[in-house]
Chains A and B, each alone.
Chain A
Amino acid sequence: MTFKKMPWVALLAVFALVVAACGGGDDAADETTTTEAEVTTTTAAPETTTTTEAAPAIELLIWADENRASAIEEVAPAFTEETGVVINVELVDFGQIRDQVGVAGPAGEGPDIFIGASDWVGELATNGVLEPIEGGAWSAPFTDASLNALTFDGTLYGVPYAVEAVALYYNTDLVAEAPATFDDLIAACEADAVEACLGVPGAGDATDAYHNYPFISATGGYIFGEADGVYDPTDVGLDSEGAIAGAEFLSEISASGVLGKTNYDEAKNLFLAGEQPFWITGPWELGGAADWTVPWSVAKIPTIEGGTPQPFIGVQAFFLSSFSENKLVAQSFLFDFIASEEGQNALFAADGRPPVHQTIIDNVAGNAAISAFGASAADGVPIPNIPEMSSVWGTLGDNLQLLRNGEIDANTAMTTAAEAVRAAIEG
């Protein structure tokens, strides 16, 4: 063989490998965890098996995070057994799902069903990656608030399973009973002579509009005007009289020292060290509560100057991708299994967040903490799910942080935030 013929030898070898690679290309790597796919088919009616057996098994791909995945895998075998449909659950970090479905769906790589939160709905529906879901018999046992939170522009997207809203944790050693009004809370603080006796994230070095919203809403403040579940992004209520009054109150209790200048971890650590009797945050902390050394309980946030605080409520839900090729199957799974009592029970057991299915709510009525969070959520308002909400978080959080740190007054904080939101929306 001469030197000149070398490339041809090489090409031949290349060609051989190409053929080999293409031949074996069917079993693409699959990183999903498959629930028992093999279902014994002994009970199928004889006259129908002839037509159905030839077809390959239908598969549904679900994106969920670790907590939820275990609950889905609990109900999936029953569905597979009854229908022959294989459920694949792929673990995706909760924070990643929102961005990933927008990329993977249009490229044909996305899931049929994914879990998510109600405040994603506007953006995802606007992008065209969410399929509308019809209410019906399945939706009757669910709370109106949970379904409303999943409704964007008059259309329902998603099957809910849990609701989240902040409430008041209190130390039962330091406080005899839950305060009904903020005056009671302040009196309890004075009785105990504790400085910074209420911990709420969003001051010091931290920005947090979410935890501070109950103060803004209690006195009638709002973010976007709303009628019949449709938000009006041109009606910004951050500098409304009620919102400024709420900010004024926040400023007062910060200045008087009742409210500490804490970020999330500081507020948590102070409460768990028994140095801070009150702490406002959400039910996600209940997961670690078994290890707490302080005696605690949960109650609704006390009323502020006669007004009921309305915390933001976020609803956790299952969504259907508009790029799913098995929508009827996916909806059968959602309506008949996820929305069923068993499905909702499994989800509550795995996730522990306050339920939205009436039967489960009744079942857990004995759980004081879950009930208190449920009651707080019942007072709440959904996080506006329109895409314009993206302009609110940063500027509102920044201004409330400056306000609580004592650097600006209530009027400046709220008018600056409102103007920034209006300017951002106008573009």
Chain B
Amino acid sequence: MNRARSSSPLSWGFWVKIGVIAIIDALIVFTVPVLIANESYLLLTMFVGAALLLNWAYLSPRAEASKWLAPGLIFMAIFVVFPVIYTGYVSLTNWQTGNVLAKQQVIDQLESQVIRAEGDGVPLELDIYRDPAGQLAFLVRDPEGNTYFGIARDRTSDPIDDPLIDPGVDISVESPDQIGDFQILSLRDLLAIANQIENLVLDIPGQGVARAQSASTAQLIQAGQRYAYDPNTDTLFDAQEDVTCSIEAGNFICEDGRRLDPGWVIVEGFDNYAEVFTNERIRNPFVKVFTWNLIFALGSVFITFAIGLALANALQDERLRGRAVYRSIYILPYAIPAFLSVLVWRGLLNESYGQVNNLLESLGLNAIPWLGDPFWAKVAVLLVNAWLGFPYMFLITSGALTAIPEELKEAARVDGASAWRVFRTITLPLLLVSTAPLLIGSFAFNFNNFVLIFMLTNGGPPVPSAAVPLGETDILISFTFDLAVNAGRGNQFALGSAIVVMIFVIVAVLSAVSFRFTKRLEEVYG
């Protein structure tokens, strides 16, 4: 390409290029401190790697070819490779309800808990005072009307010897604006130093300490935090129960058998994969679900391809008038967001009010329980998917058909072949050579067509007497979604990820085998 030389130093294009790269680099450099602060090192590596790749591709004269590849590679890394790696990573962890935080966050939270004893946590009314020296005092009133006034201290410091002060006036019912040198704080002044007050306590000898909860309320608690973490032994001591808690798989387990929540995320290894194979709740329905999943994916590809091809073939005919109009109409289902048309179909297929059954009944036929019957629900799923998918097939086959040389068909016709024979022996094989990879792609997409199943039937109707929530139209991804998201105790994201990775492997294997097959096709007809 001669025009590649056009990026000579002084040209306009050169400066645009520099400008764009500079903006991208600036944005990436800007994210570096944020990512470091969040400890997202994987993302950081990817961002910096992408930036270096971009700069090299566009600035080094030797990287002429990678110019065209670099943006594609980067987008693939961000939108395909990263999610796959991340899913793989999650599948190796214990991420589930109760294990979503980082270890330090868990320790911080446990250490902020206070000892709970009998009669503890008495709610108190609170007013806060300050003297000209900046010293803060609490006035607290318990539900029985006992009132205490005294100097507050930071809860981490040592108790003050004689914290309580005699106010000299009656404070049992109302809090005066002024007690000695101390002036009552307005809500505004008080909240301005909220972070300081949060850590203040007033010792009430013989009762405990009063700790501020909000601007007007405090709580009487026993002094002392409940849990203390010892980094040397990596254990937690529970001062209330007087037991030590040691770490087991992302949770503290105490000597008395209690498992403390919250726990944190750890990398567990391949436990989740083992779980998929050993858990009977997943294993038993697998064959049933997998069989329907294959039928659904293959059936969808076959039906949509057949409809799309038939329409494309019909519109090939030059005698047909207004072909552009038909083409536009056939593309319509493709232009409407799938989840919208699925919802519309759900309404149309409703057993008692749906237009489909209204039509059948007006023709004197029986209403069909489209979404409530195991057999008809499967038919409905395939029908709706045919509606959603045929425009795509129509598009690709239209293109491929025009690429088939007319002479070949002409020659066959001259030799006396029927139209069907021409189609079967010439058009179809040549068509498959160019469209087979797309059919495989369509199969892989439909194999995991979660949106359709989730929105149309949500897997239903249910299978009677199933040991797990299982529906007749559930495919692997929707079945396992139910298991992982509505698990025995909240959500099991890690298990869900492991299943997703395994489905990925299944689809990859099936696709690889099919590609092999199309290679053979190419050798014969290509």
Contacts and interface: CB of A to CB of B under 8 A. Distances in A.
A137 B123 contact: yes
A3 B10 CA distance: 10
A30 to B, nearest CB: 16
Nearest to A156: B121
Given A18-B26, A127-B97, A205-B461, A328 B353 contact: no
A425 B351 CA distance: 36
A136 B464 contact: no
Nearest to A22: B30
Interface centre among B18, B23, B214, by most chain A C-beta atoms within 10 angstroms, is B214
A331 interface: yes
Contacts of B98: 126-127, 387
Interface in B28-84: 29-30, 38, 55, 59-61
A181 B503 CA distance: 52
Contact of B21 (A14, A125, A329, A391): A14
Interface stretch (A40-48, A167-175, A239-247, A358-366): A40-48
B212 interface: yes
Contacts, number: 245
B23 A395 contact: no
A423 interface: yes
B97 A18 contact: no
Interface residues of B, number: 86
A1 B464 CA distance: 79
Contacts of B281: 423-424
Contacts of A82: 187-188
A329 B101 contact: no
A-side interface mostly: helix
Contacts of B369: 205
A127 B100 contact: yes
Interface in A312-343: 322, 325-329, 331-332, 334-336
Interface stretch (B228-236, B333-341, B480-488, B506-514): B480-488
Contacts of A426: 488
Contacts of A423: 281, 467-468, 488
B193 to A, nearest CB: 7
Contacts of A58: 191-192, 194
Contact of A402 (B105, B186, B462, B482): B462
A207 B458 contact: yes
Interface stretch (B215-223, B298-306, B432-440): B215-223
Contact of A10 (B59, B183, B457): B59
A408 interface: yes
Contact of A405 (B30, B101, B372, B487): B372
Contact of A408 (B10, B215, B464): B464
B187 A83 contact: yes
A328 B212 CA distance: 8
B219 A416 contact: no
B460 A205 contact: yes
Contact of A128 (B55, B121, B125, B262): B262
A390 B353 contact: no
Given A106-B105, A423-B467, A399 B462 contact: yes
Contact of B467 (A6, A44, A419): A419
Given A51-B192, A204-B371, A207-B460, 11 more contacts: A1-B10, A3-B9, A21-B30, A127-B261, A134-B213, A266-B350, A328-B194, A328-B197, A336-B215, A401-B460, A416-B465
28 contacts: A7-B60, A9-B9, A48-B185, A102-B100, A106-B101, A106-B105, A137-B123, A137-B217, A233-B489, A325-B195, A327-B198, A328-B197, A328-B215, A332-B194, A336-B216, A387-B97, A388-B488, A390-B97, A390-B485, A395-B468, A401-B460, A401-B462, A402-B461, A402-B462, A420-B469, A424-B488, A426-B488, A427-B488
Interface of A: 1, 3, 6-7, 9-10, 13-14, 16-18, 20-22, 25, 44-45, 47-48, 51-52, 55, 58, 82-85, 102, 106-107, 122-123, 125-129, 134-138, 204-205, 207, 233, 265-266, 269, 322, 325-329, 331-332, 334-336, 387-388, 390-391, 393-395, 398-399, 401-402, 405, 407-408, 412, 416, 419-420, 423-427
